[in-house]
């Protein structure tokens, strides 16, 4: 047995060190041993002790448990203590809870550059260390789990330093209100935002660790809320939403996430969260949600991929956008009244993507366009009752990039007034018929013939989209 002198070892309890019976084998994983305790005794004492133990057969156990009766945090460390600074790639890994998806975790770890990964949590132990360090086939310098159960722990210099040295941070599951209570406006908060905006490392999280990563978040300060309770009163005591005061991912601006989406059904409650945010801020927020065992991984350009076990398992992610046809806010969203957000049965346009081993379904969340590999749904709420249906009509809110024309002669149609159908002089990318309230009554794609016989008589706007131009015409339906 070859003795290796510890690189760093401090303790106020030499007896505890002896109880550990630690011994290092030369070249074990090509890593040095690491121990950290509180206060200090001399390395000479410890070196002497380990030398005396050289004939004792002891197994090296990683990670080592960093212990102190005086420290407000707990650390579990695996790997090399030497700090490294490899190149990293920013990204966000959002997991819906239950068991982590291995392919998503590999995506996350690969963006760390093989550096130091830090897992943070309020309760629990070292369950992630071996999994991340040696079970996924990605070479890392180290994995450290920091249990941070108080504001004092969150502001401890060691916690601050280790987070800022990290090449990736993963937020474990737990109670998101603990994370808000103990970490917001602390060194943990500032370190996470430094890693996002300056150092640009990947940030991941599962369950509560996903729930806190949007600009807006459901804090669960008064306990968890179910969909029926939320829909019955959007301002009930259990609807506690924070906004723009914690983790600040530029890619998750005006976004709120939700997790465990299929256990139980949480579509109604996230619809309520979005309605509240719209009502309170007069700004439309988007939603990202994941079933359990499903992950949404977003790279620095905004391209989101969905990982999961489909087709063996029905793993889904949902990308939720308020319909962009004005007016598009909730019709009734007030304290003591059931939510109504209907908008012609299409208040929310939702893109459902199956999670696969390769992350084949994608969406650009920087622009909330370029949807691929999934299916569209419409969601709406009437008097607290949630409803949904599949649809072939997707979201197209990119009208800001179009040149609007009202007197164009290049596009025409007849007859007007019309009864059964109207005929265009050219086939267009998209045509919408909109009523006086701004509600889309009909939508047509890639056609020049528009059946309207079941449209109610009245005056409408005809929105005619081609690649570069939005032409608006008046239509009279007899």
Over residues 403-425, mean pLDDT: 79
pLDDT score of 63 more than 70: no
Give the model's pLDDT for residue 473: 86
DSSP letters of 238-294? T--EEESSS---GGGTTEEEE--TBTTB-HHHHHHHHHHHHHHHSSPPEEEEE-TT-
The residues, any chain, with a CB within 8 Å of residue 24's CB and separated by 6 or more, are 2, 3, 4, 32, 33, 60
Give the model's pLDDT for residue 382: 98
For residues 173 and 368, give the distance between their C-alpha atoms in angstroms, rounded to a whole number: 27
Residues in the chain: 478
For residues 196 and 202, give the distance between their C-alpha atoms in angstroms, rounded to a whole number: 8
**Domain coordinates in residue numbering, the chain:** 14-61, 91-391, 402-477
Q: For residues 393, 395, 398 and 402, what is the CA-based torsion angle, rounded to 10 degrees? A: 20
Give the model's pLDDT for residue 177: 98
Residue, of 3 and 249, whose pLDDT is higher: 249
Give the model's pLDDT for residue 218: 98
Architecture label for domain 402-477: Sandwich (2.60)
Record the tokens describing residue 151, joined without a space.
Answer: 């504001």
* β-strands 202-206, 216-218 pairing: unpaired
Q: Would you tell me which CATH number, out of the four given (3.20.20.150, 3.40.50.880, 3.40.250.10, 3.10.129.10), belongs to the domain 91-391? A: 3.40.50.880
Q: What is the pTM of this model?
A: 0.73
Give the model's pLDDT for residue 85: 96
pLDDT score of 232 more than 90: yes
DSSP letters of 77-90? EEE--S--------
**Distant-in-sequence contacts of 18-26, Cβ < 8 A, 24+ apart:** 18/49, 21/53, 21/56, 21/58, 22/50, 22/58, 22/60, 22/64, 23/50, 23/53, 23/54, 23/56, 23/58, 23/60, 24/60, 25/1, 25/60, 26/2
For residues 242 and 458, give the distance between their C-alpha atoms in angstroms, rounded to a whole number: 44
Element of type H or E holding 461: strand 458-465
């Amino acid at each position: 047995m070859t003795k290796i002198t510890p690189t760093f070892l401090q303790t106020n309890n030499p007896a505890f060190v002896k109880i550990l019976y630690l011994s290092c084998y030369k070249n074990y994983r090509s890593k040095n041993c690491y121990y950290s305790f509180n206060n200090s005794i001399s390395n000479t004492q410890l070196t002497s002790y380990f030398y005396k133990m050289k004939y004792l057969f002891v197994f090296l156990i990683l990670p080592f448990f960093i212990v102190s009766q005086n420290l407000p945090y707990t650390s579990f460390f695996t790997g090399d203590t030497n700090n490294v600074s490899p190149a990293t790639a920013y990204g966000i890994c959002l997991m819906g809870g239950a068991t982590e998806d291995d392919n998503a975790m590999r995506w996350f770890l690969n963006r760390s550059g093989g550096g130091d990964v830090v897992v943070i949590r309020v309760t629990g132990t070292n369950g992630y260390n071996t999994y991340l360090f040696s079970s996924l086939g990605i070479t890392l310098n180290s994995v450290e789990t920091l249990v941070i159960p108080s504001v004092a722990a969150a502001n401890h210099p060691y916690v601050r330093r280790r987070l800022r040295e990290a090449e990736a941070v993963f937020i474990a599951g737990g109670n998101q209100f603990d994370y808000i209570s103990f970490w917001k406006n602390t060194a943990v908060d500032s370190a996470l935002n430094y890693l996002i905006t300056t150092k640009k490392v990947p940030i991941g999280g599962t369950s509560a660790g996903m729930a806190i990563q949007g600009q807006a978040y459901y804090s669960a300060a008064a306990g968890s809320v179910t969909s029926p309770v939320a829909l019955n009163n959007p301002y009930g005591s259990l609807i506690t939403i924070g906004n723009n005061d914690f983790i600040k991912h530029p890619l998750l601006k005006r976004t709120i996430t939700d997790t465990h989406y299929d256990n139980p059904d949480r579509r109604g409650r996230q619809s309520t969260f979005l309605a509240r945010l719209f009502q309170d801020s007069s700004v439309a927020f988007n939603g990202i949600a994941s079933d359990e065992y499903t992950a949404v991984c977003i790279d620095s350009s905004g391209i989101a991929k969905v990982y999961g076990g489909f087709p063996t398992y029905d793993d889904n992610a949902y990308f939720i956008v308020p319909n962009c046809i004005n007016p598009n806010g909730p019709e009734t969203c007030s304290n003591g009244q059931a939510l109504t957000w209907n908008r012609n049965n299409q208040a929310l346009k939702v893109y459902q993507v199956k999670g696969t081993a390769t992350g084949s379904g994608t969406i650009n969340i920087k622009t909330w366009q370029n949807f691929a590999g999934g299916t569209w749904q419409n969601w709406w709420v009437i008097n607290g009752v949630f409803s949904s249906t599949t649809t072939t009509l997707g979201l197209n809110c990119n009208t800001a990039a179009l040149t609007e024309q009202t007197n164009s002669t290049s596009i025409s149609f007849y007859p007007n007034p019309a009864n059964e159908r109207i005929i265009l002089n050219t086939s267009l990318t998209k045509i919408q018929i909109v009523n006086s309230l701004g509600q889309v009554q009909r939508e047509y794609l890639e056609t020049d013939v528009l059946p309207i016989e079941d449209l109610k008589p009245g005056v409408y706007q005809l929105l005619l989209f081609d690649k570069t131009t939005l032409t608006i015409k008046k239509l009279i339906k007899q």
